């Protein structure tokens, strides 16, 4: 089948934070006057739980009933203040849209991820954008990928997924039959052999159109 769609991950693929997330979380905890929650502890809890609207319930559990929603809001605002797109991201997306439908599939609660899109000015940039907080399951569950494919009106064999995560992105997308381009960067996940291609994030804008064309 001919390639009809390109689907992107958001965090660490198209957008990054300019400050360490552990520092942001520590500062958010201090700002709302709750015990510090480590990034590692939060990350493990986030993997176990599927957040829908906000991170609040996860933080409440970690704080033994403390004000999780206040911490979720403070952390969300801290991330927004530090969030930046990779250079040329918008032009990459619009270039690809000359030939393909371009979608976004990102893990996370609705409020946090939609806020990132507003912060970046990307609310209307993609042909379809799915936040897994809107779904019963997040990546790597097949239902998450099915949701964005349905929104774009394509079959798995007609789409390529672009993301950095080994299990969430590479395993999830290949498991449903999509081609995958894994995005690499310093201190990120190493190259996974299940990916069809790999690209350094620094070269994503310049190299991805030609990589994608190989699947066409």
CA dihedral 190, 194, 199, 200 (to 10 degrees): -10
pLDDT tens column, 37-85 = 777 887 777 667 667 878 878 888 888 867 888 888 988 899 989 999 9
**What pLDDT shows up at residue 49?**
67
Q: What is the dihedral of CA 7, 211, 85, 17, to 10 degrees?
A: 90
pLDDT range class, residue 25, cuts 50, 70, 90: confident
Confidence at residue 65, expressed as pLDDT on a 0 to 100 scale: 67
Average pLDDT in the 184-201 region? 97
Q: Taking residues 97-119, report their average pLDDT.
A: 95
Average pLDDT over residues 116-138: 95
Q: Is residue 187 scored above 70 in pLDDT? A: yes
Q: Give the β-pairing of 197-200 and 159-163.
A: unpaired
- The residue that leads in pLDDT, 30 or 199, is 199
* Averaged pLDDT score across all residues of the chain: 92
Q: Please, what are the domains in the chain?
A: 5-16+85-213 (3.40.50.1000), 21-82 (no CATH)
Residues in the chain, total: 216
Does the pLDDT of residue 161 top 80, yes or no? Answer: yes
Rounded to an integer, the average pLDDT of 158-165 is 98
- H/E/C letters for each residue in the chain? CCCCEEEECCECCCEEECCCHHHHHHHHHHHHCCCCCCHHHHHHHHHHCCCCCCCHHHHHHHCCCCCHHHHHHHHHHHHHHHEEECCCHHHHHHHHCCCCEEEEEECCCHHHHHHHHHHHCCCCCCCEEEEHHHCCCCCCCHHHHHHHHHHHCCCHHHEEEEECCHHHHHHHHHHHCCEEEEEECCCCCCCCCCCCEEEEHHHHHHHHHHHHHCCC
Asked whether residue 181 carries a pLDDT value surpassing 80, the answer given is yes
């Amino acid at each position: 089948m001919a390639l009809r769609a390109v689907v992107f991950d958001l965090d660490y693929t198209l957008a990054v934070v300019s400050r360490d997330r552990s520092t942001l979380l520590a500062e958010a905890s201090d700002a709302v006057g709750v015990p510090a929650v480590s990034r590692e502890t939060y990350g493990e809890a986030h993997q176990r739980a599927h957040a829908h609207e906000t991170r609040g319930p996860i933080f409440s559990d970690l704080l033994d009933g403390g004000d999780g929603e206040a911490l979720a809001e403070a952390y969300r605002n801290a991330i927004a203040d530090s969030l930046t797109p990779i250079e040329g991201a918008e032009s990459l997306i619009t270039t690809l849209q000359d030939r393909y439908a371009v979608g976004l599939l990102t893990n996370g609660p609705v409020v946090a991820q939609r806020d990132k899109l507003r912060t970046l000015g990307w609310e209307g940039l993609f042909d379809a954008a799915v936040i897994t907080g809107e779904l019963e399951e997040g990546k790597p569950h097949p239902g998450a990928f099915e949701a964005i494919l349905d929104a774009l009106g394509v079959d798995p064999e007609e789409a390529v997924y672009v993301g950095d995560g080994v299990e969430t992105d590479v395993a999830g997308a290949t498991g449903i039959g999509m081609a995958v381009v894994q995005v690499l960067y310093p201190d990120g996940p190493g190259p996974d052999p299940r990916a069809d291609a790999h690209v350094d994030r620094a070269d994503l804008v310049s190299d991805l159109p030609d990589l994608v064309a190989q699947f066409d």
